[in-house]
Amino acid sequence: MKNVYFDNNATTAVAPEVIEAMAPYFKDQWGNPSSMHAFGGGVKKGIDEARQKVAELIHADPSEILFTSCGTESDNTAIRGGTEAVSDRLNLITTRVEHPAVLGPCRYLGERGHRVFEINVDASGQVDIVQLGAALRDGPALVSIMWANNETGVIFPIPEIAAMVKAAGGVMHTDAVQAVGKIPIDVRKVPVDMLSLSGHKLHAPKGIGVLYVRKGTRLQPFMLGGHQEDNRRGGTENVPYIVGLGCAAELAQRHMADEINTVAALRDRLEAGLLAVCPDSRVNGDRAHRLPNTTNISFEYIEGESILYMMSDVGIAASSGSACTSGSLEPSHVLRAMGVPFTAVHGSVRFSLSRYTTAEDVDYAVKQLPPIIAKLRAISPFVKK
């Protein structure tokens, strides 16, 4: 059976080059980088090189790169560590469409005396800049707003938002987990103080993340009890994974200029193909400001989990914002915040591509989807005859 993977915003295949780069750090270079003997020396060099490569991908200084265990740890460190570093109560400003890794710590701090503002988005998923401006005038703030949305791929105007936050004297964090490696990011030009990224979204393995921390940013370490990462993150370094992420960052930088066009062309072909052959379907989110690899399509009158299972039966992998697939009973908070009707939320499917997606994959999906949609609609009581 064919195996077609359209779920790259959930996780990506580890690049073969990355596996190769990591291998020596399991076999020979297994020393502790902190050790004062030869076993640690080469290992330290591997970490330094990886730090350099990750820094280059976002145009940061290597000293501003903090390795963590995942994107969620990076977000928690930025939000909780950034809040704890100042003695005053802060306003925490975020949006209604953030990843739970951001909403979770914000709401946690909200229960402990900080005020939390969750900024609205419009029907296209774009953040309400006016509301953000008003919240910024309310007092000292730590702002955490994502660079690109995981469900819709919608890109927020982070350069503009970060400038607003800095002008208001706030601290700016962005969860760029979905953006890094897919679109150019340059922290020399965009005044974010902190930025989260995750290895497994850009063809490195799961279990490695980064928090970029601009020089001079006040941050209380989240993981205490170790001198590693310049006393900012305790714990012996996850050396093979750090090396793997370095390699993945290098690959992303090398391929990005091409991939922005090739992947976007495949995505557009998939999107146009599906909309043409599946009646009563619609795209969710701002198509003009969107990651090149993502499309979120709602198929009316039918439910996402059923669609995914039937797609899986023919070897196609994607994900859905339906309640049944979220592990809770509530459908996607992102699509609901955009005001997408319940009918369309439950039947939403996210297709996310990667550098490994082929035109053949896309055409296969365009051919396989219509009978699935038709079969489920034949069962549905809501289809108007």
Which residues sit at the interface with another protein, rule CB under 8 A? 301-306, 309-310, 312-313, 322-325, 327-331, 342-343, 346, 378-382
Q: Are 319 and 349 in contact (CB under 8 A)?
A: yes
- Name the minimum Å distance from CB 331 to another protein: 6
Of the pair 112, 385, the CB lying nearest another protein is at 385
Q: Are 283 and 349 in contact (CB under 8 A)?
A: no
* Catalytic site residue from 70, 106, 278, 324: 324
Of the pair 272, 379, the CB lying nearest another protein is at 379
Task: Determine phi and psi for 68, rounding to 5 degrees.
Answer: -130, -175
How far apart (Å, rounded) are the C-alpha atoms in residues 102 and 95?
9
Give how far Cα 149 sits from Cα of 12, 78, 352, Å: 16, 18, 12
Of the pair 9, 29, the CB lying nearest another protein is at 9
Of the pair 228, 296, the CB lying nearest another protein is at 296
Closest CA to 312 of 325, 294, 298, 297: 325
Spatial neighbors of 232 by CB under 8 A, at least 6 apart, are 66, 213, 219, 221
Query: SS3 of 73, please?
Result: helix
Of the pair 253, 326, the CB lying nearest another protein is at 326
Q: ∠ CA 351-355-359 to the nearest 5 degrees?
A: 70
- Name the minimum Å distance from CB 312 to another protein: 8
> Which stretches of 209-270 are assigned E, i.e. beta strand?
209-213
Tokens of 344: 């369309």
How far apart (Å, rounded) are the C-alpha atoms in residues 283 and 140?
38
Of the pair 64, 303, the CB lying nearest another protein is at 303
Q: ∠ CA 232-253-156 to the nearest 5 degrees?
A: 75
Of the pair 20, 313, the CB lying nearest another protein is at 313
Of the pair 116, 324, the CB lying nearest another protein is at 324
Give how far Cα 372 sits from Cα of 110, 121, 270, 369, Å: 44, 32, 16, 5
The amino acid at residue 304 is: G
Q: Which residue do the tokens 């994974």 mark?
A: 241
Tokens of 106: 């914000």
The amino acid at residue 40 is: G
Rounded (10°) CA dihedral 306, 309, 311, 312? 170
What is the edge-to-edge ordering of all strands in the sheet holding 91-95?
65-68, 209-213, 194-198, 171-175, 141-144, 91-95, 115-119
How far apart (Å, rounded) are the C-alpha atoms in residues 380 and 149?
31
Q: Has 70 been annotated as catalytic?
A: no
| Catalytic residue numbers, as ranges | 324
